[in-house]
Structure 1
């Protein structure tokens, strides 16, 4: 039995309100307070920070964040959880609850009205990549994103060239952020138990993007086309990029990259060099 009186016992709250988990929302609530403490610690939350929590569940992690942060803004899509959160966290005057789909929230408005914004979330697996992609591509001025996500997705974000997990997601995340694995979390730490292991990963937003590119849209297309057929050469991947054979050969030569290489072998700087060389040929 949980002996700590200053925390929310997830199982007790679920039972108290007769809450029914919605499978379509991918709900898996944390019940291990050691994990929760490490998430808060790993996120580096301080009294100067405003935390945006996506998917607070019954408020177990939220309550711990409220003890550390200047303010916690929780975004919850499930109507059944709104009264539970409002009741369980009513004594905290630094708590704000937004009943909305996180994919439709105007994060710029929240960030403009607050300082030192950090995102913390135990994300449903099915929305992990869309939410993180949206947060990064929209260039929101958050300090960091600390998220509990499926182990395989976290490993892809943190992967390096010549690894099986390295791909478009790795490069997107690392273009904007430094990555750090905080901890691995087994299924037994949740109710209901997921079928896979999870990882808490922290993404610290860089002041400037990791590499300089002339055309971001083209840069990410080069990356995407390079991984669409992982076993194919870069030359085959770039065939539909918008250059004739002669100019494409010149772009490879100018970038110093062998067209016979595969995308999984290129560093992010090499992708930038290739994209910039292609961009010059397209615009000449």
Structure 2
């Protein structure tokens, strides 16, 4: 790196913050990573090379962006805080293949951005230390828009990462687990202590890799209906699947039709939503839809 100290060192991070008089905004969930080993694990998990593009969301002062620039053929960093733009453009000036955008990723047309920014590469991954307060909306946008993505490797709150990777039957398993696993294959990469950030967050973090699926692992007639059935099944976690579905789809009728449809789907009415697999939810959604239950 031509003799320059990396941005991610505590010394250089503090020097950049002081030089620009930067003040952290709690409302934006700003916590800057100062551990090079964790950065290595994040970048390694993405499997980048010179033929890869990397989209980073919330680059801060560019510690991870710098690492991505050294590995990927094209990098776009989307930062919502306009105060960070001049800092990023300065510290990343040695890397002409890095593009900095001042925008809210939730409002960006990502399909258009990919067409503009990643024409020189054959595959793209999202690699980011996400702001924890908007983790789920950002990840669901990335997955639902069917972008040409290889991997999504993100640092997020440990509890949320565990929910995304959870298997049926555990207390972490829920509608978020099913949504993430419908679109991707999640794998926990590592747990990250609070001490490797400036300032330290109030929660433990984790790095998770989502290997984006070319096709969902189950076939459903209507994704909208499938996810509605999933959400209805977890309305009250302590209730049985039959009670939750009755409240949503059969509020005025008796249980006979519902129990018959559950039997057709091969699901015991006394089970709870957290015990059903992705395949069972797909089957249940199909049976309800075929019976005109929407």
Q: Which range, TM-score by smaller chain?
A: over 0.9
1:260 and 2:259 are equivalent in the alignment: no
Could you tell me which runs of 5 or more consecutive residues in structure 2 were left unpaired when the two chains were aligned: none
Cα separation, 2, equivalents of 1:72 and 1:41 = 16
Which segment is superposed worse, 148-157 or 11-20? 11-20
What does residue 93 of structure 1 align with?
96
* Structure 1 residue ranges without an equivalent (≥5): none
**8 Å CA contact 1:55, 1:77 repeated in 2:** yes
CA distances 1:85-136 after superposition (whole Å, capped 9, x unpaired): 0011112110101100011111111223423111011011101011111111
More displaced 10-residue stretch of structure 1: 274-283 or 150-159? 274-283
2:235 corresponds, among 197, 212, 228, to: 228
1:273 counterpart residue number? 283
**TM-score normalised to structure 1 length:** 0.95
Deviation readout 1:162-181 (Å, 9 max, x if unpaired)? 11100011000000000111
Deviation at 1:153, TM superposition (A): 0.3
1:120 to 127, 147, 162: 127
The one of 10, 31, 36 equivalent to 1:33 is 36
Query: Could you tell me how far apart the structure 2 residues matched to 1:238 and 1:278 are?
Result: 10
Residue 160 in structure 1 maps to residue 167 in structure 2: yes
Pairing partner for 2:136 from 121, 129, 134: 129
- What is the CA-CA distance between 1:7 and the residue it aligns to? 1.5
What is the Cα deviation at residue 5 of structure 1? Answer: 3.1
User: Deviating runs (4+, > 4 A) in structure 1?
Assistant: 243-246
- Please give the alpha-carbon distance, in whole angstroms, between the structure 2 residues aligned to 1:268 and 1:85: 42
**Which segment is superposed worse, 246-255 or 230-239?**
246-255
When structure 1 is superposed on structure 2, of 111-120 and 178-187 the one drifting more is 111-120
Answering whether residue 20 of structure 2 is matched by residue 17 of structure 1, we say: yes
CA distance in 2, matches of 1:186, 1:33: 13
**2:79 is the counterpart of 1:76:** yes
Q: How does 1:182-193 map to 2 (within 5 A)?
A: 182-193=189-200
The corresponding residue for 1:45 is: 48
SS in 2 for 1:194: coil
What is the TM-score normalised by the length of structure 2? Answer: 0.92
For 2:22 and 2:127, locate their aligned partners in 1 and report how far apart those are by CA, in whole Å: 23
Contact in 2 for aligned 1:75/1:98 (Cα 8 Å): yes
User: Are the aligned partners of 1:111 and 1:142 in contact in 2 as well (CA < 8 Å)?
Assistant: no
SS of alignment partner, residue 247 of structure 1: helix
2:70 to 63, 67, 71: 67
Q: Deviations over 1:23-50 (max 9, x none)?
A: 1101000011111111111111111111
CA apart distance, 1:240: 4.2
Paired position in structure 1 for 2:149: 142
136-145 vs 268-277, which moves further = 136-145
Displacement, 1:218?
A: 1.1
Cα drift, residue 138 of structure 1 = 2.0
Q: CA deviation at 1:246?
A: 4.2
What is the count of residue pairs matched by the alignment?
281
Whole-Å separation in 1 of the counterparts to 2:146 and 2:249: 27
Secondary structure at the aligned position of 2:283 is classed as helix
